[in-house]
Amino acid sequence: MDNRSARKHEAILEAATSVFLDKGYSGTSMDDIAKLAAVSKQTVYKHFSDKEKLFADIVLATTDRLDTTIDLLADLPTDDANLEENLTRLARQFLAALTDSRVIQLRRLIIANADAFPDLGTEWYERGFERGLATLAATFQRLTDQGLLLRIDDALLAANHFSGLLLWIPVNKAMFTGRAQHTEADLDRYATAGTRVFLAAYR
């Protein structure tokens, strides 16, 4: 793909993401996407065979953006003296990534279309959130194996507990109301409190 074609490809993806998030899957047409991307409808079809393929590419592309967050989950320092501080910092970064307004919008869009595209929803979950949980579980297992930092029998369950403590309030509010309801101070509080509760159970 040459530079001009690559730019058009990215413009179509960006335009399609905006339109899908604004109008939903059923309310979006290829004409809408072409207009916003400033290309012809034929150009859209040249890059993407149909609306379903374009939607799938947008959904799955977001899992690649979680790589940085997943790397953070894998790199938690093994320092017993600063475990709470390090875990709180990680919790805050995790919260920031998963409560980003576009991530929330996309999550709602995927759930809204889960009946129509169950395989796509499953793949998004497996490549994104589930991969993050597995990485976090491996990190917790590493801290447990040292014999000093954590006491965990089921690392994956512990990773789910940790994530739930952080995400239950802000994500549920956003999912039901359609937009983020939290402030940065709220996220700070959720990270601090969630970490303390987690360590009270598992340290």
Asked if residue 30 lies in contact with residue 45, where contact means CB atoms within 8 angstroms, the answer is yes
Quick check: 6 pLDDT over 90? no
Asked if residue 201 lies in contact with residue 164, where contact means CB atoms within 8 angstroms, the answer is no
Quick check: 148 pLDDT over 70? no
Say what the pTM is: 0.83
Q: What is the overall mean pLDDT for the chain?
A: 89
Quick check: 73 pLDDT over 80? no
Residue 25 sits at the vertex; the CA angle it makes with 21 and 29, to the nearest 5 degrees, is: 100
Tokens representing 51 are: 């609306």
3 state SS for 29-48: CHHHHHHHHCCCHHHHHHHC
Q: For 80-119, how does the pLDDT look when each residue is reduced to its tens digit (9 = 90+)? A: 778 899 999 999 988 998 898 888 888 889 999 999 999 9
